[in-house]
Structures are given as C-alpha cells and as structure tokens.
Amino acid sequence: MPSNVVELLRRQLREKFPEAHAVRPPPEPETPVENLFSPRFFPAGEISEVLAGGSALSLLLAGLLGNPDAPAPHPELVWVDGADRFDPASFTPAACSRMLWVRCRRAPDMLKAADLLVRDGNIPLVLLDAAALPRRDLDALPKSSWWRLKHGAGRSGCRLVVLSRFPLVPCAALRLPLTARLSLDDLDRPREELLGKVRRQEQRRSAGA
C-alpha cells in the first residue's frame, strides 16, 4: 500500500477517534513502602482515608508500629477500633506499647471517640478503623460528622487516618487504596517480609471535593 494512502488512513482514524490517539500521561510512581509506614506520610491537620481489606490494614498497622526492641514510654498513636476486632496477641508487647487501643462496637461511638482524640492537641496520629463495620451503619452517619472531625484535626494538627473498605469521608485530603495479595506460602514468613507486598496508588484531591 502506498505510503500516502497509509498516511491518509491514519489521519482519518485520528479525526474519527481522537480519544484513542490522545497522548496519555505516564502513570504516577508508587509511593515507597518505607514512606507509607511513616506517620509523616499522612498530612498533618487533615483526614486521610485508606481503602483496604483485612490483610492490607494489618500490614499497615504492623509497618507503623515497627518491631521495637523495648517498650515505648508513651503511646505514639491511637487505634480507634470501630468493631473491636484488633488482636493484640498478633503483635509483640513492645510494639503494642506504642499504641493506645480504644475499643468500640458501634459506628456512632467510634466517631465520638475520634472527636475527643483529635481535639486533645497531644495526639499526633489517630487511626480510625471502620473497615469491619456494616456499610449500612456507616452510610447512616451524618456527613457533617466528618467535617467536624476535619475541623478538629485542623485546629490540633492531628493526623487522622480513616480505614475503610469503600470511600466514606467526603472531606479526605488523601485517599489511598491499598492491596496485599498474600498466599498460603506467606503464612510462615516474617511480617517484615510481607510489608513489601502492600501495593498502593495515592489520589490527592482538594478537601472540598
């Protein structure tokens, strides 16, 4: 086929299907694992939302707690357990010493606890675990409750991280989908090795979106 005919066909295809020939931006690079497991990864004075299942959330907590050699003199983060599902026996006593465990069983009680914590002014990181609560209970929460938490975190500078299986917070400054594909072969591997299996893609947006 003559080259001029080929070029004519290409031009006609570009005109008829412009979306297919548009220049696509390169995918955003993934955030390094070591940054994800640092509290400073999450913006201070804002609400971040992590969307993940059980294994990914467990590894996120493991990465944040680390594997310290000695107990911490004071807790460094607060885990607001919305469905009272945390198993402290799966972590070392030294790791658990870095965390204050607040046990709840209802979505409204979880929000009340978080509201008190973010307004305290002395707590740098609060993890609000709503992943195991029924969706109907979470959907029934007033949207204004999340904005109240946002204003409280903004005044105190607290980092509030909401853990959920679906988008829940309308005023999240950072939404982070996480996955961790584990197999039966991973059951006997140290948790430190499994941290590298956490995959994520951050999506930043304005707080008013």
Residue 104 belongs to some domain of the structure:
yes
Question: pLDDT for 123-182, tens place per residue?
Answer: 999 999 999 999 999 999 999 999 999 999 999 999 999 999 999 999 999 998 887 766
Residue 7 belongs to some domain of the structure:
no
The number of folded domains in the chain is 1
Does residue 119 or residue 192 have the better pLDDT? Answer: 119
Domain that holds residue 200: 34-204
Q: What are phi and psi of 24, to 5 degrees?
A: -95, 135
* CATH classification of the domain holding 57: 3.40.50.300
Residue 195 belongs to some domain of the structure:
yes
Residue 27 belongs to some domain of the structure:
no
Q: What percent of the chain has pLDDT over 90?
A: 49
Q: Is 128 in contact with 114 (CB distance < 8 Å)?
A: yes
Residue 63 belongs to some domain of the structure:
yes
Residue 5 belongs to some domain of the structure:
no
- Determine the pLDDT at residue 146: 96
Residue 145 belongs to some domain of the structure:
yes
Residue 28 belongs to some domain of the structure:
no
- Determine the pLDDT at residue 194: 63
